[in-house]
Amino acid sequence: MRIGVFICHCGSNIAGTVDCAKVAHIARAYPDVVYATDPMYTCAEPGQAAIEAAIHEYKLDGVVVASCSPRMHEPTFRRTVERAGLNRYMFEMANIREHVSWIGKDMEANTNKAAELVRLAVEKLRNNVPLTAKQFDVNKRVLVIGGGVAGIQAALDCADGGVPVVLVEREATIGGKMAKLDKTFPTVDCSACILGPKMVDVAQHPNITLYACAEVEDVSGYVGNFTVKIRKRATYVDWSKCTGCGACTEKCPSKKSPDAFNEFTGTTTAISIAFPQAIPKKAVINPQHCRQLTKGKCGVCAKVCPTGAINYDMQDEIVTEEVGSIVAATGYDLMDWSVYGEYGGGNYPDVITALQYERLMSASGPTGGHIVRPSDGREPKNIVFVQCVGSRDKSVGRPYCSGFCCMYTAKQAILTKDHIPDSQSFVFYMDIRAPGKMYDEFTRRAIEEYGTEYIRGRVSQIYPNGNGRLTVMGVDTLLGRQVEIQADLVVLAVGIEASKGSPQLAEKLRISYDSYGFFMESHVKLKPVETNTAGVFLAGVCQGAKDIPASVAQGSAAAAKVLALFAKHKLESDPQIAQVDMRRCVACGKCIRCCPFGAIKETEFRGEAKAQVVETVCQGCGLCTSTCPQGAIQLSHATDNQILAEVNALCQC
Amino acid sequence: MNDAIDISHVRDAAFTAEVEARSGQKVASCYQCGNCTAGCPAGFAYDMQVSQIMRGVQLGLKDSVLKSRSIWMCLSCSTCSQRCPNNIDVAAVMETLRHMARKEGHITVPKVEKFWLSFLNTVRAFGRSYEIGTMVLYMMRSLRVYTDVDLAPTAFAKGKLGLLPHLTPGGAEPVERIFRRYRERAKREGGRP
Amino acid sequence: MNFAYYPGCSAKGSSSDYESSTQAVCRALDITLEEIPGWNCCGSTPAHAVDTELSAALCVRNLDIAARQGADLLLTPCPSCLSNLRAAARRMEKPAFRQRVNELLDAPAAETFPEVTSVMQGIARQIDRETLAARVQTSLKGLRLAAYYGCLMSRPSELMRFEDPENPLLMEGLLSACGAEMVDFPLKTACCGASFGIPERAMTARNSGRILELARRLGVDAVVTACPLCQMNLDLRQKQAGRACETSFHLPVLYFTQMLGLALGLKRNELGLNKLAVSANGLLEKMDNLRRADAVEGGRS
């Protein structure tokens, strides 16, 4: 073998504490090394050209670059050697920057260590073999999970790009949290008015198939070829017949069903349509509260339905969809704020969440848009808003900022004044986070034009003071004084958490999630939409707190990723995957159980059970290779022989 | 000439570190939300609110903190610790500051210390606390002879106050010995017993 | 059932009524409290305010006595004693601290101490709701009561481990089993002003005033406490609290054991009701009238 070695200076990043010329000199003595040099910037165009030239001039069949972390530039140099006619896997990289020059100041020790790392890379390379990627077809359909504004945007953009979309929504209607909002900041335009048309587009788009009241049950396959099982929950209404006329909801005698759409600020009928602009506009029966389903007698809705759509015997149904890519847009839920015993833990009717307050302000809400106290229906005059209830609070396990509460609170304070001109709003806050376009101006408006009193400090306790009002014990840290407000209504900006079931869905999608259930992007800055599973993308709050504009932007970004993926007719699989040695495999099945990607299945080989790696699914993590008791699985490009060659070299250093 | 605090000059990082070490609390994690102040039942009697004390500790303002009236008026009710979003035991910090202030000889509210010492004197003498004894010692120390005289008639009539100390059976000597060893050690170590 | 018992100094002085009612109620519920011999003051707030090691040494001497008696559980009626004893036991887990405290004692303390808990928890551990309800002789039905725990019973929460620290319900459970109507009392763990009544009267007057004010607004017949200091501030100092709030209160403030004793039909003099500064006579009359009305009602049906 003829190996060329390039010891990069990286300006002074490496050369500052490593004698690069000396390392190159030492490397010339390593087995099979026929050429070694020390360029200033190997990754720069002249540096790459020098590698190509050396390959031709010295007839190299392998190259080692000793420079930075392979994370950034391994793909760069692989392309370089490929341009010069080598297989891209006949290349090795030694990290002498992060692992050497940046962490030690002793020039002699650093130089020795760098030389040793180069030696390892050379020994690895001597055991390398050319690998080739395989090509496979792409199923150009996409699954979008979650029909909030992020999912709607992703679905519409994909559909407009000509890609068939399967949109799965857990609730009875799409629209997500945005559909529950009365107005949106910083323009105070009607939420339903701007979201409504998009929801209708979803319903009417020929490329979109919508499953509401449905959840993803199982995901298998790999990028380009996923198989998804979707559970359609029984709605007890045949939606192919239901016209959404509402006759059933008018006549339903069970009127005490909890109204989830209205955040439990009111009650609804056991058969209901979530709200007037619901998409799909179809009726759903709540089986816990339907008299027919709980007591076996009633049947009023079946009698009044003009199309005969009611079906009390309906069962859940599983449908299977084949897609090539998946967008997760599952959004958020409010954290359980009952942990705040000092705020009454949910026992005081006039201490409510901001989302409940949206429903009280909304014309489609339980009070027809009239702000009244849940306890006695009186119009409140003193309204206190408390920020960061379950955000930035380590003591309840929520150290993160929920991102959008500062802004919606300013909006709610403005709207409160519009609804009740003689009211006074007070906002207890720690910091006002308003970095968006026109955001800070908006909060200033709440203060300057609407007279909202912002008080800097947290609230220690809220309690009914026996006079029909709530005593709010707070502080004005700017004054350095304790303050107290006798409030009629207290609105808590309750922090957010990943929507219920997020970790379970992440497991199905084989993507990572953080300790709060938010899905992990592939790279915080440079790959904010991608996940570590190829073909699975993220949109909206499921990845982390963000407001409507950011959610919409990420929805579009996810769609762009899907469309870019589908622009190729064939995809290449990474050849750095596990390989089963059929002769050694005893079919114990340990690899199948340990594989986090479901990439190994049992197969039959000459009448015997054996493990087989599904090449397109395997991510090359290596778990199976270290689990296999027979040593029957080898990870290409990280085989036992290659690793042992490195260990050997290290021991000889 | 303004009276700004010259932080570069006054800031005492060693003080901050000592408070953290003695109290076992990470004062740096306080983000000044003010929840401790909001719920403090003694705040009205403070010269610096408890959140300001925390800020003073963060900034290493040793003198203003240790000479504050607040650290003596703290009721040790732990409302602040219970509701601190950053899990800081604020009451422990206040107690640490009080101990440090005593050690440095800053007794900003002498009557409070006098009351405590009066109480402890009766415990040392009798093994158990003794309300009348505490009161008499306190009145002598503080020269506040009218303290709670309004309560005396009811208290006596209802037998709320025993005129005689309740002696620990087996004598108060073991307790006295605890106090003696404590005083000797405090003197040896240069503290205020 | 026998428990080792640490009465605390106030039991022998200002809260002898708490002590006598505790003894009476426990007797009636077949709980025997065995006072540990030669116990001393826990040092209360003054000791830990002055020095943690001194405070611990005073407490540990008592824990040591209980440990050498072979007790596995030590009950005390007073939350302040409880808090000090528990804090001392916790601090003694650190070897360096233990050594410093041992230096103050006549002999090194026992390696492990019995768990210390409140009489209230001891009763609740021993007697379930149904059993208690079955023992009731005179129902508290028709009485509206506020349970007031004070600040030390549940705080610091990880030390005291007393139910939900913001909303304990143990006292409500016991008294509602006896038929009382327990109001939601949001200031149940607020501080009454503690021992500052002597050096800084405004501290107790204002804080106790706030508590009494809310209790009055909620229309309760009595406030029920578990702490000698709280009881003194709310009861003996009620006039001072009234003056601080520019009003005057007349609210009986009873120990929960006195209330339980009434329900269990114990003799009223045994419960020390005559020691209350704010008379409970009105409350007792109301109770008698209610029960008389029951009897008439019962006779009719």
Q: Say whether both C232 and C285 belong to one domain.
A: yes
Residue C296: per-residue pLDDT: 86
Domain count, chain C: 2
- C157 and C92 belong to one structural domain: no
Residues facing A188 on adjacent strands: none
Beta-carbon separation of C61 and B174 below 8 A = yes
CA–CA distance, A619 with A402 (Å, rounded to integer) = 33
**Three-state DSSP class for residue A52:** helix
The pLDDT tens digits for A200-235 are: 999 999 999 999 999 999 998 889 999 999 999 999
Whether residue C98 sits in one domain with residue C14? yes
Work out whether strand C222-225 and strand C144-148 pair parallel, antiparallel, or are unpaired.
parallel
Residue B168 pLDDT greater than 80, yes or no = no
Residue B1 pLDDT exceeds 60 = no
Task: Return the CATH number at C86.
Answer: 1.20.1050.140
Q: What is the ipTM of this complex?
A: 0.93
Q: List all residues of chain A from 494 to 523 with a beta carbon under 8 Å from chain B.
A: none
**Do the domain assignments include residue C126?**
no
Residues C257 and C148 in one domain: yes
Measured in degrees and rounded to the nearest 5, phi and psi for residue C136 equal: -70, 130
Which residue out of B73, B80, B82 would a mutagenesis test of the C interface target, given it has the greatest number of C Cβ atoms within 10 Å?
A: B82
Q: pLDDT band at residue A333, thresholds of 50, 70 and 90? A: very high
A142 beta partners: A165, A325
Mean pLDDT value across chain C: 94
d(CA A615, CA A604): 17
Percent of chain C with pLDDT over 70: 99
C32 and C151 housed in the same domain: no
Task: Look at A445-449, A621-625, B167-171 and tell me which has the smallest mean pLDDT.
Answer: B167-171
DSSP state of A546: -
The DSSP letter of residue C104 is T
According to the model, what pLDDT value does residue C128 have? 93
Cα-based distances in Å from A100 to A67, A75, A114, A146, A283: 10, 21, 7, 46, 66
Specify the CATH number for the domain of residue C279.
Answer: 3.40.50.11810
Q: Does the pLDDT at position A651 exceed 60?
A: yes
Chosen domain end from C120, C147, C182: C120
Per-residue pLDDT of A552-564, as tens digits, reads 999 999 999 999 9
**In degrees rounded to 5, what are phi and psi of residue A45?**
-55, -45
User: Nearest CA of chain B to the CA of C102: how many Å?
Assistant: 10
Q: Does position A617 have pLDDT exceeding 90, yes or no?
A: no
Q: What is the pLDDT of residue A273?
A: 96
DSSP state of A101: I
Candidate from A388, A396, A458 with C-beta closest to B38 = A458
DSSP state string for A380-432: PSEEEEEEEESSSBGGGTB-S--SSHHHHHHHHHHHHHHH-TT-EEEEEES--
Q: Report how far residue A440's alpha carbon sits from residue C59's, in angstroms, rounded to the nearest whole number.
A: 56
Alpha-carbon torsion (A101, A105, A108, A109), positive or negative: negative
Check residue B135 and give its pLDDT: 79
State the smallest CA–CA distance between residue B16 and chain A in angstroms: 21
φ and ψ of A468, to 5 deg: 85, 0
Place of tokens 């709003």: A425
The residue written with tokens 């027979």 in the block is A630
Contacts of C274 in chain B (CB under 8 A): 158
pLDDT at residue A334 above 90? Answer: yes
Confidence at C295, pLDDT banded by 50, 70, 90? confident
Mean predicted confidence (pLDDT) in A176-202:
96
Across C202-228, average pLDDT: 96
Among C148, C163, C214, most A C-beta atoms within 10 A, so best to mutate, is: C214
As to burial, measured by CB atoms within 10 angstroms (0-12 exposed, 13-18 middle, 19+ buried), residue B120 is buried
pTM for the whole structure: 0.89
Total Cβ atoms within 10 A of residue A79 = 12
Q: Residue C180 above 80 pLDDT? A: yes
Q: Taking a contact as any Cβ pair under 8 Å apart, which residues of chain B between 96 and 115 contact chain C?
A: 98-99, 102, 109, 111-115
Residues in C closer than 8 angstroms to A341, CB to CB, are 164-167
Task: Indicate the SS3 state at residue A488.
Answer: coil
pLDDT at B167 over 80: no
Per the listing, tokens 């020929």 go with A206
Mean pLDDT within A458-486: 97
Residue B182 touches chain C, beta carbons under 8 Å: yes
Mean pLDDT across C207-235: 96
* Domain identity same for C36 and C171: no
Burial class (CB in 10 A: 0-12, 13-18, 19+), A384: buried
The verdict on C239 and C202 lying in the same domain is yes
- H/E element holding A592? helix A590-594
Q: Is the pLDDT of residue B134 over 90?
A: no
pLDDT of A68 above 70: yes
Instruction: Read off the pLDDT of each residue in A259-284 and give the average, rounded to a whole number.
Output: 95
CATH of B13-103, one of 1.10.1240.10, 1.10.1060.10, 3.40.50.300, 3.30.470.20: 1.10.1060.10
CA distance A12 to A97: 10
CA A237 to chain CA centroid, Å, is 33
- In the predicted model, what is the mean pLDDT of residues C165-174? 96
Q: A11: Cβ–Cβ under 8 A, 6 or more apart, which residues? A: A40, A41
The rounded Cα A160 to chain-centroid distance in angstroms is: 23
Token pair, residue A88, equals 């891209």
Other chains touching A, judged by 3 or more CB pairs under 8 Å:
B, C
What is the chain A residue with the closest CA to B86? Answer: A394
Contact A497, A491 (CB under 8 A): no
Assess whether pLDDT exceeds 80 at residue A634: yes
Closest CA to C65 of C9, C5, C10: C5
Q: Quick one: A651 exposed, middle or buried, by C-beta within 10 A (0-12, 13-18, 19+)?
A: exposed
The CA angle A188-A189-A190, to the nearest 5 degrees, is 120
Confidence of residue B158 (pLDDT cuts 50, 70, 90): confident
How far apart are the CA of C215 and the nearest CA of chain B, in angstroms?
A: 17
The mean pLDDT value for A591-599 works out to 90
Alpha helices in B33-130 (DSSP H): 35-38, 50-59, 62-66, 70-73, 79-83, 90-103, 110-126
pLDDT band at C68 (very low <50, low <70, confident <90, very high): very high
Q: Among B34, B84, B87, whose Cβ lies nearest the Cβ of A475?
A: B34
pLDDT of C166 higher than 60: yes
End of a domain among C59, C88, C120?
Answer: C120
Burial C7-41 (b: 16+ CB within 10 A, else e): bbbbbbbbbbbbbbbbbbbbebbebebeebebbbb
The pLDDT assigned to A238 comes to 97
% of chain A surpassing 90 pLDDT: 94
Q: What is the pLDDT of residue B164?
A: 64
Q: What is the pLDDT of residue A58?
A: 97
Read off the amino acid at residue A225. N
Last residue within a domain, chosen from C90, C120, C150? C120
Mean pLDDT (chain B, rounded):
90
pLDDT tens-digit series, residues A13-47: 999 999 999 999 999 999 999 999 999 999 999 99
- pLDDT on residue C258: 97
Q: Which of C164, C187, C216 sits opposite A341 (nearest CB)?
A: C164
Please write down the long-range contacts of A212-215, taking CB distance under 8 Å and 24 or more positions apart: A212/A147, A212/A169, A212/A171, A212/A172, A212/A173, A212/A174, A212/A279, A212/A280, A212/A282, A213/A169, A213/A170, A213/A171, A213/A172, A213/A284, A214/A168, A214/A169, A214/A170, A215/A168, A215/A170, A215/A501
Domain limits, chain B = 13-103, 110-189
- Tell me what pLDDT residue A590 has: 95
Domain for residue C216, yes or no? yes
Distance of alpha carbon A24 from alpha carbon A20, whole angstroms: 6
Q: Give the domain range for residue C21.
A: 2-120
Question: Mean pLDDT, to the nearest integer, of B137-152?
Answer: 78
| Cα separation values, A102 from A22, A43, A484, Å | 18, 18, 55
Task: Note which residues in 337-376 of chain A have CB less than 8 A from chain B.
Answer: 342
* Residue C248 distance to chain B (closest CA, Å): 15
In this predicted structure, what is the pLDDT of residue B145? 72
Q: C270 and C165 share a domain?
A: yes
- How far CA B189 is from CA of A108, C99, C286, in Å, comes to 51, 16, 61
pLDDT at A264 over 90: yes
C-alpha to C-alpha distance for A285 and A213, rounded to whole angstroms: 11
pLDDT of residue C300: 67
* B-interface mutation test, from C40, C102, C245, most B Cβ less than 10 A away: C40
C252 within domain boundaries: yes
Which residues in chain B touch residue A481, judged by CB atoms under 8 angstroms apart? 49
Nearest-10 crossing angle of helices B173-188, C52-68 = 150
Q: What is the overall mean pLDDT for chain A?
A: 96
Look at residue C115 and tell me if it is in a domain.
yes
> Do C163 and C295 have their domain in common?
yes
- pLDDT for residue B161 is more than 70: no
Per-residue pLDDT of A413-444, as tens digits, reads 999 999 999 999 999 999 999 999 999 999 99
User: So what's the pLDDT on residue B71?
Assistant: 97
Residue C132 resides in a domain? no
Maximum C-alpha span of chain C: 72
Residues of chain B in contact with residue A388, where contact means CB-CB under 8 angstroms, are 33, 85
The reply to whether C94 falls in a domain is yes
